Structure 1
Amino acid sequence: MTQISLAKCKVDQLVKLCEEFGNQEGELINVLHKAQELVGYLPREVQEVIARQLNIPVSKVYGVVTFYSFFTMTPKGEHPISVCMGTACYVRGAEKVLDEFKRVLKINVGETTADGKFSLTSLRCVGACGLAPVVLIGEKVYGRVTPGEVEKILKEFE
């Protein structure tokens, strides 16, 4: 595991964030959401700061981070790509779309491109079944995506 060194200003911001939630253990999920917005992901050092501030074991923080799929312990790309793998999307070819993103970007699900531009994840359902298969890039929704459209979609982000 790569050791990161969190800048003192980030540590100070995390401490202040925890204080805004009263350093209350019951606010852990809210604190983690805000911390992930602040840092971009939740590496071990961030979890340690939060655990110390909320006076709870790091193992409890880690347990919450790893339980909820929204949280990530690895940095996301500048343009996070999520391919819906829910039933409607899967039946309409989402797996082939996901495979094409992996081929073009030369990364697997859960990874980020070397330049930090794209990261790739899959989701269970985005609730847009009528547009299946669906791809999210950041907040932008792409519907009825085919493998042949993947390179064209990625060019929008060059």
Structure 2
Amino acid sequence: MENMFKCSDVDTILQKHNFQATNIIAILQDIQEVYRYLPKEIFQYLSEKLGMSRAKIYGIATFYENFSLDPKGKFIIKVCDGTACHVRKSIPILNKIREELKLSEDKTTTDDLLFSVETVSCLGACGLAPAITVNDQVHGAMTTDKVVELLNSLKEEK
């Protein structure tokens, strides 16, 4: 784990949660906030530190949809494909994002780990359809032109 991740970062998180196995969900959330995903090496380390089996920790991490075992980009783009957004053409927006970032349904994160693209069933922003979020910030009334502008501004921001 020392090669890619700092044990001291994880130890700080564990201290915050008093090394309590009952706080495993909050611990995993904090680790994911630091690394943007749950590295596979983390399971053995947490198992040793918390006295929990790796299988149990892994089971929790894979049960909850919010946890990711794959690296995520700095900018996580979620494209809504709920009814309101779908009817207002969210799929062409999704396709434009994938085209611009050279991503696909199978490849969801850029090689430079700058962008990750996901589809979601609903963002709860139906009045702004079609909507996307970038790191949970809502962008409504999107068009393919607007999404290209947004991507370009995010690339400059990096």
TM-score normalized by the length of structure 2? 0.86
How many Å apart are 1:31 and its aligned residue?
0.4
1:43 to 13, 35, 39: 39
What one-letter code is carried by the residue in structure 2 that aligns with 1:100? K
Aligned residue in 2 for 1:145: 142
Pairing 1:5-20 to 2, within 5 Å after superposition: 5-7=3-5, 10-20=6-16
Does the 8 Å CA contact 1:15/1:49 hold for their aligned counterparts?
no
Deviation string for 1:76-122 (max 9, x for gaps)? 21221111122222222212211111111111246221222211112
Which segments of 5 or more consecutive residues in structure 2 lack a partner in the other structure?
none
> How far apart, in 1, do the equivalents of 2:32 and 2:26 lie?
10
Q: How many residues align?
A: 154
Identity of aligned residues (%): 34
What one-letter code is carried by the residue in structure 2 that aligns with 1:45? E
Aligned residue in 2 for 1:73: 69
The answer to whether the aligner puts 1:135 opposite 2:132 as a matched pair is yes
> How far apart, in 1, do the equivalents of 2:10 and 2:130 lie?
38
CA RMSD for the aligned pairs?
2.0
Which segments of 5 or more consecutive residues in structure 1 lack a partner in the other structure?
none
Q: Secondary structure at the match of 1:15?
A: helix
> How far apart, in 2, do the equivalents of 1:92 and 1:60 lie?
42
